[in-house]
Amino acid sequence: MMMKKILFSSLFLLGSLVSQAQHEYTIEGKVEGVKDGTLVSLFLLDGNVGSTVAMDTIQNGTFFFKRNAGEDGLDKLSLMCTRNDDFPSMSLEIYATPNARIKVTGTNTLIHTWTVDSPVKEQIEYNRFIEDSHDLWDEYQRLSIKARSLRSAPEAERKALRAKEDSISALISKREMKLMQELPVSNIWMDRLYKLSMSVKYNPNFSYKDETLALYNRMNEAQKTSITGQEITVNLFPPTVVKEGDKMADTELFDLDGKIHHLTDFNGKYILLDFWSSGCGPCIMALPEMKEIQEQYKERLTIISLSSDTKSRWKAASAKHEMTWQNLSDLKQTAGLYAKYGVRGIPNYVLISPEGKIMKMWSGYGKGSLKLKMCRYLDAVKHEMSITWQGNTKVINYPVSESTNTDILEVKQVVLTDTATIVHFNAYYIPKYWIRVSPNCRLIDEKGETYTLKKAAGIKPGEHFYLPESGEAEFSLTFEPLSSSVQSFNFTEGTEQNDWQINGVKLNK
């Protein structure tokens, strides 16, 4: 009887080993012109997120990986040498399936164009795109390596290099679109279209929007309704993005058990939307603070985390990180609510009133920042605008403003004298992080007249100003005196996208 048990166990173990071996693939690298000791990292790409799954060190020009393929039988991988200035800030894309024996060869550090010899059909198709622009990709990588050495160079030199990179990138896009006109639509083809659609969305100088739209029209309805197809669609045809003051955007949201929810289910309390991903370090760093907020404000606030991960990755991340609040997903990655709320970077937060109106939207996290936001918007005393006179001096407390592109600065008080206009600000930001006020900031009245900065108190324009532990501070800026007939003014740092603007600051009720 004991012999039979041993025999059965041995056969079971042998069967398991055979089954495991049938799912394995190997990646064998043989490269020249690369220093021994170079660290090679292998990332598994899942949706918009990548995670390190293996590392090896190049010795005698060789490296080697052996892995089991994922459940769907196709792994999309990225090979990188991230800690070496001899390499460009790029990667080698590899597709792997069970039993595949993949060989990687190269004769230099231009990793993006190393040769991948593979039987995997997706790799063969991907290789066509790389080979079609091999010369341009090599030139682009050389510029990327050069950019590493110019990190401390003058801005003009770095700007010229970026212009060269953009020019080459445009030529690559042109060649890829020509090739895409000839090839059938496939997953690899759609990945290339996704990259083109990102250029249409984010690059105002991209010249091939019409050509990209023509390629989009080659997809059938099933391809357009796939996750990648939907992401391409929202890039090329952006939905109406909600903004502060609007009614919240809503859709079907799923919990981990598959039950459907809507944001309107949580009306009656404040709602804090947390747009996150398992591959976002600051998103994960924020979780303990979110738990504290959830406990502190549980009678008044509902926190809803919305994942942009694939379904499998979202479930795995949720099992790893304790989330005692609502943890939902529309299962559309960045093509659903992410697009409707205009999310470009995560973590991204949206505070919604009990009536379903968007109060505040912001991105980024630093320790203490969420507590500061909740204290400011849920606990703060609401101030009414008031006007007092002290002789010939007019004092406007908490003046109303029409619009602003920042919630870091708030105009607390405006003092109007015959010789100066003094604007007192409250500043709110991540504790111990810095802000900076431009020395070129100015006031502009409703007639277009400009009033220049004369002096500052509590802050030095042009220099870093670090917020205290509380995340709150006060300072004042003194400008030329406004004309007596002025009814409102704009505070502006300039015309750049990130310059602070507070428009329509009222001087009368």
Write the pLDDT tens digit of every residue in 300-350: 999 999 999 999 899 999 999 989 999 999 999 999 999 999 998 899 999
Q: Given a cut of 90, is residue 12 above it in pLDDT?
A: no
**Measured distance CA(275)–CA(48) in Å, rounded:** 14
* pLDDT band per the 50, 70, 90 thresholds, residue 279: confident
Q: Which CATH architecture fits 386-506?
A: Sandwich (2.60)
Q: What per-residue confidence (pLDDT) applies to 6?
A: 57
Look at the block and give the residue holding tokens 């058990």.
257
What single letter denotes the amino acid at residue 491?
F
| Percent of the chain residues topping a pLDDT of 90 | 80
What 3-state class would DSSP assign to 293? helix
**Measured distance CA(96)–CA(110) in Å, rounded:** 21
Whether 17-118 and 386-506 share one fold: the answer is yes
Q: Given a cut of 90, is residue 217 above it in pLDDT?
A: yes
* pLDDT band per the 50, 70, 90 thresholds, residue 149: confident
Positive or negative CA dihedral for 372, 375, 377, 383?
A: negative
Instruction: Find the DSSP H helices in 183-271.
Output: 187-202, 209-216, 221-224, 227-236
Torsion of CA 121, 124, 129, 133, to 10 degrees: 180
Look at the block and give the residue holding tokens 């990188």.
80
- Residue 19 zone, left/alpha/beta (φ > 0; ψ -120 to 50; rest): alpha
Q: Given a cut of 80, is residue 237 above it in pLDDT?
A: yes
**Measured distance CA(460)–CA(114) in Å, rounded:** 51
311, 331 in Cβ contact below 8 A? yes
Q: Which fold does the domain 17-118 belong to in CATH?
A: Immunoglobulin-like (2.60.40)
Mean pLDDT taken over the chain: 92
Cα of 160 vs its chain's centroid, Å: 26
**Measured distance CA(275)–CA(349) in Å, rounded:** 6
153-180 mean pLDDT: 93
Mention every residue, 6+ apart, whose C-beta is less than 8 A from residue 151: none
162, 140 in Cβ contact below 8 A? no
89-100 mean pLDDT: 96
Q: Given a cut of 90, is residue 165 above it in pLDDT?
A: yes
Q: Omega before 468 cis (within 30°)?
A: no
Instruction: Give the count of beta carbons closer than 10 Å to the beta carbon of residue 57.
Output: 10
- Element containing residue 22 per DSSP (H, E): helix 2-22
* pLDDT band per the 50, 70, 90 thresholds, residue 46: confident
377, 314 in Cβ contact below 8 A? no
Helices (H) and strands (E) in the chain, counts: 13, 27
254-280 mean pLDDT: 95
Q: Quote the tokens at residue 216.
A: 């989009």
- Residue 199 zone, left/alpha/beta (φ > 0; ψ -120 to 50; rest): alpha
What 3-state class would DSSP assign to 172? helix
| CA distances to 52, 125, 188, 346 from 279, in Å | 10, 28, 23, 10
- Residue 328 zone, left/alpha/beta (φ > 0; ψ -120 to 50; rest): beta
13-40 mean pLDDT: 79
Pick the closest to residue 94 from 141, 26, 7 (CA basis): 26
386-411 mean pLDDT: 92
SS3 string, 85-120, reads: CCCCCCCEEEEECCCCEEEEEECCCCHHHCEEECCC
Radius of gyration of the chain (CA): 28
3-state DSSP helix/strand/coil percent for the chain, to nearest 5?
30, 30, 40
**Measured distance CA(336)–CA(330) in Å, rounded:** 7
Is the model more confident about 4 or about 365? Answer: 365
* pLDDT band per the 50, 70, 90 thresholds, residue 19: very low
Tens-place pLDDT, residues 423-475: 999 999 988 899 999 999 999 999 999 999 999 999 999 999 999 988 899 99
For 246-379, CATH number?
A: 3.40.30.10
274, 306 in Cβ contact below 8 A? yes
* Domain layout of the chain by residue ranges: 17-118, 246-379, 386-506
Q: What per-residue confidence (pLDDT) applies to 21?
A: 59
Q: Given a cut of 60, is residue 16 above it in pLDDT?
A: no
| CA distances to 154, 386, 444, 446, 487 from 504, in Å | 37, 16, 10, 8, 9
Q: Quote the tokens at residue 357.
A: 């109106």
One-character DSSP codes across 455-492: EEESS-TTS-EE--TTSEEEEEEEEPPPPTT--EEEEE
Pick the closest to residue 426 from 480, 390, 372, 462 (CA basis): 372
Q: Given a cut of 60, is residue 108 above it in pLDDT?
A: yes
| Percent of the chain residues topping a pLDDT of 70 | 96
Q: Given a cut of 50, is residue 17 above it in pLDDT?
A: no
